[in-house]
């Protein structure tokens, strides 16, 4: 084909309704629209009538896709998961339902540490295979970006093994993977009563090695009575800062440790969980633009009764994201759409807020908002087609999926 005949788009989706999510105050709906993509980048969004050859769509694109009036949204983003781990903890679920408490199980050497034992013993292939199964479920619901944390290794070798598996998932599946180093997730058995020594290992050995190997896009910690203290978390953040890595934090999940405020002090991308969040920390998050990542799956599975302060976050204009927190102990979740439903029913978020929570605000929580999270010219063509009549259906439906297909840049 001569250059003169080169068509402007690789593909053009027409007869489509868009929820662009490009406006912070609504869905950004464009009915009967067209979207043109070239080299994985969105090049045109708008009415068909404004195309160069509106009467002859064939002239515009190598491939034409008639969406038959279905709805297109940005690809969904799960911005907080622990997808890579071995085994499961159904036994602890049963123990809890017989009266044991999550924190007591953890203190007795179960909880996170039981997943650590299984993950240390698992081969890389075994971890890849079990995480692949979970990832496949999420991909069937239009996921195009996922964040995956380490944190079930708690030694340098196993933390590296987990992050390598996460990276490999991104190579073998049509999904963008953002990796997060969570070495400060729990105190490993061999460091019992020596938490400061373990934090030294995290800061002096694990973090520099992982930064050198370029295995992590961000650094996280669990700031909690059963995790690490404010001061220990600060040390991890300080090291991350020296290495040029952005931070995020498991904060205020079981008690108020002022962790979210500390995270904001370090310009964190996000503070996550937040059931016990204080007004002082909300103000700091608002000032710094720290995203509040809300995790209804963990709230539900722990049968938590203290709600995160949604109205206060809303009033302070803190961006809110929603994620699965997919993990064996507190949220064995493999459905992002179910999290939208739970965000609405349990947290009283609106359907619009919950969809923003897995698109634009989830992109912000990963520092990827310039590339993904909305349907706009210049952004990556990560798109999902849904068989629905309105985008509010995405959080309305309980179970099932109206997913039709995903376009991944
Ligand atoms: N909070 C959580 O909900 C997960 N990690 C964390 O810090 C739970 C991890 C687990 O119980 O395996
Ligand atoms: Fe988590």
Residue-wise DSSP of 88-151: --HHHHHHHHTT--HHHHHHTT-THHHHHHHHHHS-HHHHHHHHHHHHHHHHTTTEEEEEEE--
In the structure encoding, which two tokens stand for residue 15, read together? Answer: 């007869």
Ligand 1 contact via 259 beta carbon (within 6 Å): no
Calculate how far, in angstroms, residue 81's C-alpha sits from the geometric centre of ligand 1.
10
Report yes or no: 275 and 253 within 8 Å, Cβ to Cβ: yes
Among protein residues, the one with the nearest Cα to ligand 1's atom 10 is 329
Report yes or no: 359 and 340 within 8 Å, Cβ to Cβ: no
Q: Which pLDDT value is given to residue 1? A: 45
Give the three-class secondary structure for 222.
Answer: strand
Buried b (16+ CB within 10 A) or exposed e, 245-260: bbbbbbbbbbebbbbb
Q: pTM for this one?
A: 0.97
Pairwise CA distance, residues 290 & 277, whole Å: 13
In the structure encoding, which two tokens stand for residue 73, read together? Answer: 């949204």
Calculate how far, in angstroms, residue 398's C-alpha sits from the geometric centre of ligand 1.
25
* Pairing outcome for strands 143-149 and 76-78: parallel
Q: Which pLDDT value is given to residue 230? A: 98
Calculate how far, in angstroms, residue 325's C-alpha sits from the geometric centre of ligand 1.
8
Report yes or no: 362 and 270 within 8 Å, Cβ to Cβ: no
Q: Which pLDDT value is given to residue 356? A: 98
Cα 61 to Cα 8, 16, 380: the distances in Å are 6, 16, 18
Pairwise CA distance, residues 103 & 388, whole Å: 42
The position carrying tokens 């729990």 is: 186
Q: Which pLDDT value is given to residue 2? A: 47
Residue in 85, 300, 329, 331 to alter for ligand 1 test, most ligand atoms within 8 A of Cβ: 329
Ligand 1 contact via 379 beta carbon (within 6 Å): no
Split at pLDDT 50, 70, 90, the class of 3 is low
- The answer on pLDDT for 216 being more than 50 is yes
The beta-strand segments (E) located in 20-90 are 29-38, 41-47, 61-66, 71-74, 76-78
136-162: per-residue pLDDT in tens? 999 999 999 999 999 999 999 999 999
Among residues of the chain, what percentage have pLDDT more than 90?
93
Split at pLDDT 50, 70, 90, the class of 201 is very high
366-396: per-residue pLDDT in tens? 999 999 999 999 999 999 999 999 999 999 9
Whether the CA torsion 62, 68, 74, 80 is positive or negative: it is negative
Average pLDDT over residues 340-361: 98
Residue 245 CB contacts under 8 Å (≥ 6 apart), including other chains: 181, 207, 211, 216, 217, 218, 219
Whether the CA torsion 163, 165, 169, 172 is positive or negative: it is positive
Residue in 112, 183, 219 to alter for ligand 1 test, most ligand atoms within 8 A of Cβ: 112
Average pLDDT over residues 314-322: 98
**R_g of the chain computed on alpha carbons:** 22
Residue in 88, 162, 324, 327 to alter for ligand 1 test, most ligand atoms within 8 A of Cβ: 327
219-246: per-residue pLDDT in tens? 999 999 999 999 999 999 999 999 999 9
- The answer on pLDDT for 92 being more than 70 is yes
Average pLDDT over residues 62-69: 96
Ligand 1 contact via 299 beta carbon (within 6 Å): no
- The answer on pLDDT for 57 being more than 90 is no
Split at pLDDT 50, 70, 90, the class of 5 is low
Nearest to 71 by CA among 408, 313, 409, 402: 402
Determine phi and psi for 78, rounding to 5 degrees.
Answer: -100, 105
Split at pLDDT 50, 70, 90, the class of 4 is low
- The answer on pLDDT for 327 being more than 80 is yes
111-138: per-residue pLDDT in tens? 999 999 999 999 999 999 999 999 999 9
In the structure encoding, which two tokens stand for residue 59, read together? Answer: 């002239």
Split at pLDDT 50, 70, 90, the class of 52 is confident
């Amino acid at each position: 084909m001569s250059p003169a005949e080169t068509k402007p788009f690789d593909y053009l989706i027409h007869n489509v309704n868009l929820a662009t999510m490009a406006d912070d105050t609504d869905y950004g709906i464009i009915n009967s629209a067209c979207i043109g993509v070239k080299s994985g980048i969105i090049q045109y969004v708008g009415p068909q009538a404004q195309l160069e050859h509106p009467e002859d769509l064939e002239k515009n694109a190598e491939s034409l896709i008639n969406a038959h009036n279905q709805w297109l949204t940005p690809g969904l983003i799960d911005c907080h998961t622990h997808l890579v781990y071995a085994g499961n903890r159904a036994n602890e679920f049963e123990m809890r339902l017989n009266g044991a408490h999550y924190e007591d199980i953890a203190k007795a050497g179960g909880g996170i540490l039981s997943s650590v034992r299984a993950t240390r013993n698992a081969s890389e292939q075994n971890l890849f295979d079990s995480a692949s199964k979970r990832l496949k479920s999420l991909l069937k619901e239009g996921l195009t970006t996922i964040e995956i944390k380490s944190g079930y290794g708690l030694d340098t070798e196993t933390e590296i093994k987990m992050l390598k598996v996460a990276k490999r998932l991104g190579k073998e599946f049509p999904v963008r993977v953002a990796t997060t180093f969570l070495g400060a997730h729990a105190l490993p058995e061999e460091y019992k009563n020596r938490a400061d020594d373990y934090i030294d290992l995290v800061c002096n050995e694990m973090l520099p090695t992982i930064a050198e190997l370029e295995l992590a896009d961000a650094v996280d910690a669990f700031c909690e009575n059963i995790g690490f203290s404010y001061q220990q978390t600060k040390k991890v953040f300080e090291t991350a800062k020296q290495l040029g890595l952005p931070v995020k934090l498991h904060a205020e999940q079981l008690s108020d440790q002022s962790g979210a405020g500390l995270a904001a002090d370090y310009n964190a991308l996000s503070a996550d969980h937040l059931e016990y969040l204080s007004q002082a920390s909300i103000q700091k998050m608002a000032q710094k633009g720290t995203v509040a990542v809300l995790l209804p799956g963990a709230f539900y599975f722990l049968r938590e009764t203290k709600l995160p302060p949604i109205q206060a976050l809303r009033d302070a204009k803190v961006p809110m994201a929603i994620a699965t927190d997919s993990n064996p102990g507190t949220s064995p979740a493999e459905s992002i759409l179910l999290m939208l439903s739970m965000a609405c029913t349990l947290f009283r978020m609106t359907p619009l807020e919950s969809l923003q929570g897995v698109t634009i605000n989830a992109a912000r929580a990963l520092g990827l908002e310039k590339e993904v999270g909305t349907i706009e010219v210049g952004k990556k063509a990560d798109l999902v087609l849904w068989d629905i009549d309105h985008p509010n259906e995405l959080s309305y439906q309980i179970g099932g999926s109206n997913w039709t297909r995903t376009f991944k840049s």
